[in-house]
Structure 1
Amino acid sequence: MALIYVDDIVITGNDATAIQNLKEFLHQQFHIKDLGSLNFFLGLEVSRSKEGIVISQRKYTLEIIDDFGYLGAQPSNFPMEVNLKLTDDQGDLLHDPERYRRLVGQLIYLTITRPDITYSVNILSPFMHAPRKPHWDAALRIIKYLKGSPGLDLLFSSSNSFNLKAYCDANWANCPMTRRSTTGYCVYLGNSLISWKAKKQKTVSRSSSEAEYRSMVATTCELTWLRFLLNDMQISTGPAKLLCDNQAALHIVANPVYHECTKHIELDCHVVREKIQEGQIVTEFVPSHL
């Protein structure tokens, strides 16, 4: 497998001979420079040990903190205030909106290895066109949070299983402007976190159950794609486990009868039920507070 970005190439696989042959072929065609084992790639820092592979963006994080003059700031314990409601008409417009846009853009790239700030960055992204003072203050709070843990990393264990497990949730009608809900999910391969997302839903949900159901749909699509990817790598995996904390949403998935509260939902949302019937997905209830 090869990952190519302009003139930077990362080659990986479980056949050392095939990798060497590929590098020799590329060198004959383009005269490439072999830098050896991967240590740094597009802001990603990679290290290896017997426990597995560790990926972080420590240098990139410190550059963001330094760029905005917060190296000496008091760290924050959390990236965003609980139940913070940001709108596009409260507070004064920023005199220099480019700084806000640059900061949010940098934070978006940082979410590659920092799932802990994904939701907060998702809240700030819609205000790029006309940022205001409350938006800027919320963005600076994320920098203070990063100050407390700039080297937080992801471990991909070398002793992992190939079982997929996903947690999904939804924040019902949390957008004060559109009343749309936010979908959130994270996917594990064994004990390693490999995929995550926080994204505003495209339509307004009439109930928390509907919002949770749409979150299950988005997670199911991600699990389906990951299963295809593993199959391409000739890795066999059993049914993926999908965990949700909403009993009503799980009931909608299991019950094929269209009730009054679900008949308006688009047909493509019922992909979860189809994947369960095919044996690709297994749902399970998980309580919100353990």
Structure 2
Amino acid sequence: MNDLGILHHFLGIEIYQEDDGVFICQKKYAEKILKKFGMFGCNPTDTPLVVNEKLKKEDGGKKVDASNYRSLVGNLFYLTNTRPDIMFAASLLSRFMNDPSHIHLGAAKRVLRYIQGTLDYGIKYDSKVESKLIGFCDNDWAGCMDDMKSTSGYVFSLGSGAVSWCSKKQQTVAQSSAEAEYISAGLATQQTIWLKRILEDFGEKQEAVTIHCDNKSAIAMAENPIFDGRTKHIAIKHHFIREAIEDDVPSNIILQDK
């Protein structure tokens, strides 16, 4: 075995190790994507997607090369290894890979324009910040125009930087914003349990983990074991989070308002 010194690059990820912490990014890979799709040097935008824009499969737009579109979305997904800020956009665009239109391609190119203006973005892990696991979860109630399903999203930070993030369409149609948020919190709870076990294996045992949720009704459902008429429509499988909150081992979860 050869000692190659401090790690600087790994599978397209750049690692900068300093005395005060570690910074990871994919600047060179992002530049490669922009050049590959002819967008290097384009005018940047402040957001990956147009605010409140709704994309759907049958939008009447002109069809484009599906192979090129799939390649673009695949490259964006790999970039999410250090860029959680484009996770939702990449997940949304992946729903149209079978039959993309020029509207979908335009939305994907807007993400590239956002990347052009944020090439230096990455994740900084500060060595001086306490390694405390904290989670955040949210959803876009009935955000999908094709089947009215919601998208769950979560992100977990360990100290100063994000360590786990996800954007995933829910399997069932939520009949209320509280239900959509409750399902999202359940997904975050599953990830919390897995992260706590991994950290314990590393010798970083965590106390009660706080998951921030911005829906008071969902928090009340998780904490109150009494069902009422307004919550009976929620499938039993979604109440996994309640068991996790009540069980001290191994989860020990605290659901908290943002």
**TM-score in same-fold range (> 0.5):** yes
Contact 2:124 2:160 in 1 (8 A): no
Give the deviation of 1:35 after TM superposition: 2.5
Residue 139 of structure 1, aligned match among 90, 96, 108:
108
Alpha-carbon distance in 2 for matches of 1:100, 1:40 = 28
Contact 1:253 1:270 in 2 (8 A): yes
Partner of 1:92: 62
Alpha-carbon distance in 2 for matches of 1:194, 1:51 = 18
Give the deviation of 1:190 after TM superposition: 2.2
Whether 1:285 and 2:257 are equivalent positions in the alignment is yes
Partner of 1:213: 182
TM-score after normalising by structure 2: 0.95
Q: How many residues align?
A: 254
1:1-290 matches, within 5 Å, as 27=1, 33-90=2-59, 91-94=61-64, 96-279=65-248, 280-286=252-258
Give the deviation of 1:34 after TM superposition: 3.9
Superposition RMSD on alpha carbons, in Å?
A: 1.2
Alpha-carbon distance in 2 for matches of 1:260, 1:84 = 34
Structure 1 counterpart of 2:257, which letter? F
Higher-RCO chain (CA-CA 8 Å, sequence separation at least 6): 2
Alpha-carbon distance in 1 for matches of 2:131, 2:195 = 11
Give the deviation of 1:261 after TM superposition: 2.8
Contact 1:166 1:186 in 2 (8 A): yes
SS of 1:237's partner is coil
Contact 2:134 2:158 in 1 (8 A): yes
Structure 2 counterpart of 1:93, which letter? K
- Work out the percentage of aligned pairs sharing the same amino acid: 38
Structure showing greater radius of gyration is 1
Structure 2 counterpart of 1:159, which letter? K
Alpha-carbon distance in 2 for matches of 1:118, 1:271 = 25
Partner of 1:19: none
Alpha-carbon distance in 2 for matches of 1:193, 1:58 = 18
SS of 1:272's partner is helix
Alpha-carbon distance in 2 for matches of 1:191, 1:54 = 11
Segments of 4+ in structure 1 off by > 4 A? none
5+ residue gaps, structure 1: 1-26, 28-32
